[in-house]
Amino acid sequence: MGLRRIIARRANKVLNYFRLEVVPVGNDFDARLESETHIARAIELIASDARQWLDKQSVIGPVYAFDIRSEIESFFSDYLRHPFRNPRGGSRFGNLLWLDRLAKAMRPSTIVDSGTYTGASAWALARGAPSAKILSFGIDMSRLIFRVPSVEYIEADWTSYRVSRFTNGRTVAYFDDHVDQGRRLAEAYARGIDIAIFDDDYSVLTFTPMAHGGRALPKISFILDDHLNDGEIIRWYADGQSYEWKVDKQKLDKLKSLIDQESRLPNIAASIGFDQLPYRVVKLAR
């Protein structure tokens, strides 16, 4: 038994009293395929899933053509060289790849990145749309580990900034900030955003780990859920506490009216073992 494992076991005997434990630190792709034939097969599966969605979707409208397979191969190589492979917090390979592909397909003039965190989403968006004006917002930039020179990083909530002065073409907003998604939807609509991309859009049956005490409710999935009734109480338990959230059907219906179209992206990284809830893409009504 190695020295690190011995130390970890002894530390866990103490930490278990506080319901904590030491776990090994491992990054995405620390263990990965190296045989070229099988890497090529995985990339082709990912490209096929992405290609099918882009060909069939209508939510983002017509898209610019590009060689999806070669672009994914290039993204994979770049991802391995960047410091975003820690799976504890932030988006992982599959979702970052989608940000890159969506930006490439839409070529927006302006992108709002709400929830800077380590800088992974801003990096992926800038990679896909290098000519776009990208504004990355976070109320705490202390965890930022990589800055893209072309991105403007702003330590504030995105609503404090007059984004409209940059909107000469298509505008896209990406929300991964653990804030009420209904609120973000209304803000995006009021500020002329064309397409909004939402992370952590869990359903009524699966949202509990990402409720943040109720501050992150409702999710977009709640707004789209026709099974919810006015006045219904949703109760859950997390972090040693019980919480509840009351359904305001009139408010949810009003928010739903702001949505022209929506689509859940496919989990394109599932074929290589990455399981993360795919984003929700929303086209705002006009």
Is 248 inside a domain boundary? no
Is 121 inside a domain boundary? yes
Rg of the chain (C-alpha set): 20
Is 179 inside a domain boundary? yes
54 and 195 in a single domain? The answer is yes
85 and 25 in a single domain? The answer is no
164 and 276 in a single domain? The answer is yes
Q: Which 8-state DSSP code applies to residue 265?
A: P
84 and 158 in a single domain? The answer is yes
277 and 164 in a single domain? The answer is yes
CATH number at residue 124: 3.40.50.150
Instruction: Look at residue 165 in the predicted model and tell me its pLDDT.
Output: 55
129 and 191 in a single domain? The answer is yes
142 and 165 in a single domain? The answer is yes
Q: Tell me whether residue 194 is exposed, middle or buried, using C-beta atoms within 10 angstroms of its C-beta: 0 to 12, 13 to 18, 19 or more.
A: buried
Domain residues for 61? Answer: 33-201+254-284
Is 212 inside a domain boundary? no
d(CA 226, CA 252): 10
Among candidate residues 121, 76, 117, the one with its CA nearest the CA of residue 96: 121
Name the token pair of 215. 């501050």
Question: What's the number of domains the chain is made of?
Answer: 2
Is 229 inside a domain boundary? no
22 and 37 in a single domain? The answer is no
Q: What is the DSSP string of 30-75?
A: SS----HHHHHHHHHHHHHHHHHHHHH--SS-S-----HHHHHHHH
The answer to whether 244 and 60 are in contact (CB under 8 A) is no
d(CA 220, CA 231): 18
Phi-psi region of 254 (alpha: psi -120 to 50; beta: other; left: phi over 0): alpha
Is 247 inside a domain boundary? no
Name the token pair of 283. 């086209």
43 and 71 in a single domain? The answer is yes
Return per-residue pLDDT of the chain as tens, 286 residues.
Answer: 466 666 667 766 766 776 767 666 678 888 888 999 999 999 999 999 999 999 999 999 999 999 999 999 999 999 999 998 887 777 889 999 999 999 999 999 999 999 999 999 999 999 999 999 999 999 999 999 999 999 999 999 999 988 765 556 789 999 999 999 999 999 999 999 999 999 999 999 999 999 999 999 999 999 999 999 999 999 999 989 999 999 999 999 999 999 999 999 999 988 888 888 999 999 999 8
Give pTM, 2 decimals: 0.92
21 and 161 in a single domain? The answer is no
The answer to whether 29 and 80 are in contact (CB under 8 A) is yes
125 and 160 in a single domain? The answer is yes
186 and 77 in a single domain? The answer is yes
Is 271 inside a domain boundary? yes
